[in-house]
Amino acid sequence: MRLLLVEDEPDIQSFLQSSLKEAGYEVAAAIDGKTAEQLAVDGKFDILIVDLGLPDVDGITLILKLRQMGVSAPVLILSARRSVDDRVRGLEQGGDDYLTKPFALAELLARLRNLLKRNSPAGSDTTKLHVHDLELDLLRREATRSGQVLQLTSQEFVLLEYLCRNAGRVVTRSMILDKVWGMRIEPETNVVDVHIYRLRGKVDGKGQQPLIRTLRGVGYVLKDR
């Protein structure tokens, strides 16, 4: 996976570069918009990380310019600002994602994987999802495990669907809040955990192999094998 990292802060750039490399990405780094453009022309990237506060050009302008140049890879926007303006929101609706500094590395990696997967066309419009012995009928809004129908509320179904679509990948609490409830909040209480706990109670019955796993300090993952 080739990744273009556009970040002007040397400290952040260095630790991002090494941790991204460790996560298996082939990283090219740029410290400003101009370098980023040159790199984007020369090589093909699967995903981009762009900081909004660049010294020479506004991050959004850079992304729009790259898009015009034919770069179609998804972008993860890094922003030091918390209130997100309409342009970022527009990009987010266009399939890109954003993350506010400071962030957890796990969050960054989870969102990157999410973006990459979202960008791959396969399996986006199936009507049934299969993970292990779990089956989700998206039309009838019904979940079964080993043939047994699970009594889920509609919200629990949406949550499980989100986990299934990201089976095998870590999803963080803020990703769940963002994608399942459609809000970017940082609750001071364990609201998401309780939802997962309840869902787990229904999905992972007695004697069955537990599917929903908690990764401490990071988030959750639905085991796919």
Partner 1 sequence: MHSAAWRISLWATLAFACGTMLVFVFLHRFVADDIQRRSDAWLSGEVEVLGDVAERTPKDALYDRVVGEVAELAGKEVPNKDLSESSSNDSVFFLQTGSDGSLKLWVGAGSGAPNLKAIQASRIVPDQPTDLNVQGFPVPFRVASDRIDDGSYIYLGLSERDELRVLRNLRLRFFLLWLLLVLLGFGIVFFTTRRMLSHVRGITEAASRIGHSDLSARVPTTERSDEVGNLALTLNRMLDRIENSMHQLHTITDSLAHDLRSPLTAIRGKLEMSLSTGSHGDQAEPIVSVIEELDRLTDFLNKSLDVAEAKADALRLNRSELDLDELLRIMIDLYEPSMSEKGLRIGLQSSGPRRVEADAALLHRMIANLFDNELKHLPAARTVSLKLTVEDDCASLIVEDDGPGFDPEVLPHLFERRVKGKDSNGHGLGLAFVDAVARAHGGAVAAGNRESGGARLVITLPLHD
Binding site for partner 1 (CB under 8 A): 9, 11-12, 15-16, 18-19, 22, 53, 80-86, 89, 100-106, 155, 177, 181-191, 194-195, 197-198, 217
For the bound state, the minimum distance from the C-beta of residue 27 to partner 1, rounded and expressed in Å, comes to 14
- Among candidate residues 137, 170, 168, the one with its CA nearest the CA of residue 152: 137
Of 71 and 196, which has the nearer Cβ to partner 1? 196
If the CB atoms of residues 83 and 120 are measured against partner 1, the closer one turns out to be 83
Measured between alpha carbons, how far is residue 222 from residues 50, 163, 191, 212 in Å?
29, 6, 19, 5
Q: Which CB, 8 or 137, lies closer to partner 1?
A: 8
CB atoms inside a 10 Å sphere around CB 61: 13
Buried b (16+ CB within 10 A) or exposed e, 135-150: bbeeeeeebebeeeeb
In this structure, are residues 182 and 188 in contact, taking their beta carbons and an 8 Å threshold?
no
CB of 69 to partner 1, least distance (A): 28
Cα–Cα distance, 222 to 136 (Å, whole number): 14
Angle at CA of residue 187, ends 182 and 190, nearest 5°: 105
CB of 190 to partner 1, least distance (A): 6
Report the DSSP pairing between strands 148-150 and 26-30: unpaired
Least CB distance to partner 1 at residue 220 (A): 15
CB of 165 to partner 1, least distance (A): 20
Q: Are 114 and 74 in contact (CB under 8 A)?
A: no
Q: Which is nearer to partner 1, 126 or 190 (CB)?
A: 190
